[in-house]
Structure formats: C-alpha cells, structure tokens
Amino acid sequence: MLKLGLRAEEPRTRANHEVTIWARAIGSGKGESLDGWMYQGETLIKQLYSKKSIGRIDYSFGIRAVVGPLTAELITDYSALELHFSYNTMAEGEHIRITMIEFELPFPLTYKPPVMMII
C-alpha cells in the first residue's frame, strides 16, 4: 500500500486523473501480473489494474490507468488517497519491482512526502 499524501486546496475539475507506474518482473520464466486499486481511506475509488502484465526484459514504462472525470468526482480528500497493489501467483524467488509511481492531476496540489507501508 502506498499513501499518496496529497492535499487539495484548489477546486476540483471534471478531468482525467492518471496513475502511471514503472515496474519490472524479477526472476526467471515469463513475466508476472499485477492488480492495483485506488482507495480513499476504506472506500474503493477504482480498480486500476487487473492482471496487468509486467515484463522481465526491462522496466515497463507507461503502465497507465486513467481515473475518468466521473470517478474522480468520488475523491473528496486527496490526503486520504492510497494505492494498493497485489501480485498474482508467482513462483519462489520471483517478484515485481515498482520503481516509480506518477499521479497526474488536472490541477495543482500541495504535497507532503508519501508514507509507504509494505503489507
């Protein structure tokens, strides 16, 4: 789980919000797959990824999910946003490494450093 730590002080607009991750599967064999969700506290805002394929060759750039304007309207407290990730079945010694997450908003926000909890 990654808590984003954003504070919205400006009015929201009806525009897309985009979540992009840079990730790579580590280990042998074929690539792995990842599920991802965006929560506001305990409330699910959107499932971002479902069995999203993550390759082994190099870091995959542009693993993007769009939170459309109507779904973005469900966000009322940006400081409570969290991204949750879960991998699908993997063999021993294999994992997925997420090296960067970008959350692109249609308006400026103030920012405080994120809190990352590995569960």
CA angle 81, 87, 91 (to 5 degrees): 160
Q: Is the pLDDT of residue 115 over 80?
A: no
Band (pLDDT 50/70/90 cuts) for residue 90 is confident
- Residue corresponding to tokens 């997450």: 101
CB atoms within 10 A of CB 97: 11
Q: Is the pLDDT of residue 53 over 70?
A: yes
Cα–Cα distance between 55 and 45 in angstroms, integer? 27
- The residue extents of the domains of the chain are 2-98
Q: Is the pLDDT of residue 8 over 60?
A: no
Identify the pLDDT of residue 43: 92
Q: Is the pLDDT of residue 102 over 80?
A: yes
5 close to 92: Cβ distance less than 8 angstroms: no
